[in-house]
Structure 1
Amino acid sequence: MLNIIGRFIYDVLKKLSVWIRSVFVSVFALIMICFVFFLILGLIVNSASTSSNLSTVSEKIIQNNNVSDKIALVSLTGVIVSENQNSILSSTDNVITPNLFREVLAKAKSDPQVKAIVFDINSPGGSPVASDRIYEQIVDFKNNTQKPVVFLMGDLAASGAYYIASSADFIVANPSTLTGSIGVIMETYNLEDLYKKIGVSKNTFKQGEYKDILNDSREITDQERKIIDSLNENTYNLFIKRVADGRKMTIEQVKLLANGLIYSGSQAKDNGLIDSLGNMDEAFYQAKSLANIQDYQIVEYNTGSVWNDLFSSVRIPDIYSLIQALPFLPKTYLVQK
């Protein structure tokens, strides 16, 4: 009797294990099919986005006073980068790019009813090249349209974020905002001892004495340090010049503040880095005053594409972002670490 019961249980468990295994294989196969489908669709979308003008700036009225004049509001959040990888496999949120500014400023320029634009920024900074491109776009927009630009700083608007904000006609910050951090940083790693410890030998084949500068398998030479310092100094001097031009300060005045320190909004006001303390109401009041208008409606600009809106819930990082996040790659930042 026990043998019969034991064999029955064995047969049941055996059939159950086969069923579970088949279900697991089926689910895994379904997941892989879905992954490949979305990967192919993402490549198609990316190709379509680059070949046609799918990227749009939508406008939403958030305060309508039954008047024609408008003040445009643009929210900026995240790190400043040169280019966002447009794909359904990557998020367009939490990045600030020159292309975003190009589209927003073009829309504001083409709309005669837009009398001013307010940028609400919350960013630690980012790429010095992207920051400078955005700075120049804002300056060109102001010169070509005579429409005032106001920046409203959120929790953080430091380094590269302050770089681009300094191009504005007026800067508003909360007393507790963290801003400033005028400086440049480049980081790399010396993993020579680690490689030795784990038994890894890295071979480098190069043509050109400095082709392997910042090689992570050896100590940086004194000459290489001078070269890197010179590169950083060039970026640093451009940063200072941009701030001086935007804030109508002398180079010497900016240099006294350009030591990498962050400042509260109140401290920034005392040092001439911003114009007034306040929040959204203050920013719109200053925009209205600079535009010399009385009543206005507030419209919010939202950027993106029809594809990004459709797949906005997908949050898989793209390969480019993953590579850029690798700690051993040397990068130059205008960012508050």
Structure 2
Amino acid sequence: MVDRARLETILSVIGPRVGLEPTAMPSGFEPKNYSSDLMVTPNGIAIVPIHGTLVKRVGAVEAASGLMSYASIEEKLLDAATDPAVRAILMDIDSPGGEVGGVFDLADMISEAGQGKPIWALADDAFSAAYLIASQAHRIIVPQTAGVGSIGVIAVHVDESEKDAKEGRSYTTVFAGARKNDFSTHAPLSLEARTNLQLEVDRLYGMFVAAVAAGRKMHESAVRATEAGLFFGDKAIRVGLADQVGTIRDALAGLSITIDASKKTHSHRAALPREPVYMEETMPMEENPAAETSVVTSRQSQPDLHAKSDIMSDLTDQSAVSNVVDLDKVRAEHGQQMRNEAQAIVDLCALAGMPDLAGGYIAEGQSAEAVRKELLAKRADAEEIHSEVMPGDGTRMQPRQSLETNPVVASCRKLAGQ
């Protein structure tokens, strides 16, 4: 059986080459756009899938066969990072790793994008290059049976010279440059070639360790101490390679809380003092055992304007967290105040003998004090002639209506109580 998505891509690529025109392909097998699978939740969390073996770039058939390119990941992340409707990014990672080429540039881009929006990673298996990507997130969540790690670099040389000899093949290479033929598969690896290859592996390993240490706020020695091992579930947390054991539901719930708290913080930023304070700070991630302690240092010299702006933004963000107003409490208090005002207006209008005016005053949003003054003015302008017309045939007096039985007053009070 061939997966439908793979068949779509295979037919779209090789169909014309074998005489199968696109119009002759079965219905529903048009070429598929694999770059359109970015999902955004209703509250603005973009989920970026990073699945399969990672390579620098792929063609259509390779993509349908389980390979994913760094270029396509970067495109999705940039779309999410620059979309004003996206408030946070969750990288959904399930990958054994992949090529070196391109992964460090992608890691740098993720780190830069994280300065503008929260970026979390769900590591449902993130090894080697995939973990390098995950390590640049602000927070890593790992399911209880999933793993992270394999922080290492490997290079393989295949010597096929004995196979060639058994098959009666002999290869003669003509080249210029002493190192041009070092890694030919048709000859054993020379000692000098092996030494040069080890030097390059060591260089890349140093870059890998440094990038993970920077992303996870760990010492490089702690990263090297993992010895490229694999760590699953809560063990990943104990060594500092993850922050929480959980599922994608936990990740989305945590990100939702983060962006909601950020929204409340920024909504009250205008009330904070804006005096020039020259400080810088490094904020560790919550519940990250490998995070370093926050450091605040005073500067003796005045920083440039751009640095000053960034520092003040960080400072106000931290200060505002401890001064966030409970919006639900404010709304409840305001609602109760409005109901009290409405009730007072109903009573004032009833006492002034003008209960039918209460609804209009409440709808206009007038205060009880303003209504009291207006009613007094109306009473002052009214003529002092009082008469009472008895309903019916005039032979008997009808009881006067009280405030409790007046239908207009009752309606206004009901409105005020809502």
**Coarse TM-score class (shorter-chain normalised):** 0.5 to 0.7
Change (3 A) 1:58 1:253: closer
SS of 1:114 mapped into structure 2: coil
Q: 1:201 aligns with which of 149, 170, 173?
A: 170
SS of 2:218 mapped into structure 1: coil
Offset of residue 56 of structure 1: 5.1
C-alpha contact 1:57 1:107 (8 A) present in aligned 2: no
Offset of residue 91 of structure 1: 3.8
SS of 1:217 mapped into structure 2: coil
Change (3 A) 1:40 1:185: farther
Matched, 1:150 2:150: no
C-alpha contact 1:75 1:120 (8 A) present in aligned 2: yes
> Counterpart in 2 of 1:97?
69
C-alpha contact 1:147 1:291 (8 A) present in aligned 2: no
Q: Deviations over 1:170-194 (max 9, x none)?
A: 0000121122011011112112222
| C-alpha separation in 1, matches of 2:210 and 2:15 | 54
**AA partner of residue 114 (structure 1):** V
C-alpha contact 2:48 2:77 (8 A) present in aligned 1: no
| C-alpha separation in 2, matches of 1:191 and 1:81 | 25
> Counterpart in 2 of 1:312?
none
Q: Which has the larger radius of gyration?
A: 2
> Counterpart in 2 of 1:130?
102
**AA partner of residue 123 (structure 2):** M
Q: Which has the higher contact order (CA 8 A, sep 6+)?
A: 1
Moved over 6 A (4+): none
Offset of residue 101 of structure 1: 2.6
C-alpha contact 1:151 1:171 (8 A) present in aligned 2: yes
C-alpha contact 2:132 2:212 (8 A) present in aligned 1: yes
Change (3 A) 1:202 1:39: farther
| C-alpha separation in 1, matches of 2:38 and 2:191 | 54
Offset of residue 294 of structure 1: 9.1
| C-alpha separation in 2, matches of 1:179 and 1:60 | 24
Q: Which has the higher strand share?
A: 1
| C-alpha separation in 2, matches of 1:33 and 1:294 | 51
> Counterpart in 2 of 1:287?
255
CA RMSD in angstroms, aligned pairs only: 2.7
Change (3 A) 1:103 1:34: closer
Offset of residue 60 of structure 1: 5.1
> Counterpart in 1 of 2:278?
none
> Counterpart in 2 of 1:174?
143
C-alpha contact 2:38 2:48 (8 A) present in aligned 1: no
SS of 2:231 mapped into structure 1: strand
Matched, 1:75 2:30: no
Q: Deviations over 1:1-30 (max 9, x none)?
A: xxxxxxxxxxxxxxxxxxxxxxxxxxxxxx
Q: State how 1:57-76 maps to structure 2 within 5 Å.
A: 57=36, 64=42, 69-76=43-50
C-alpha contact 1:150 1:286 (8 A) present in aligned 2: no
> Counterpart in 2 of 1:29?
none
Matched, 1:160 2:132: no
The percent of aligned pairs where both chains have the same amino acid is 26
Offset of residue 90 of structure 1: 4.9
Number of residue pairs the alignment of both structures matches: 242
Unaligned stretches of 5+ residues in structure 1: 1-31, 42-48, 296-337
> Counterpart in 1 of 2:410?
none
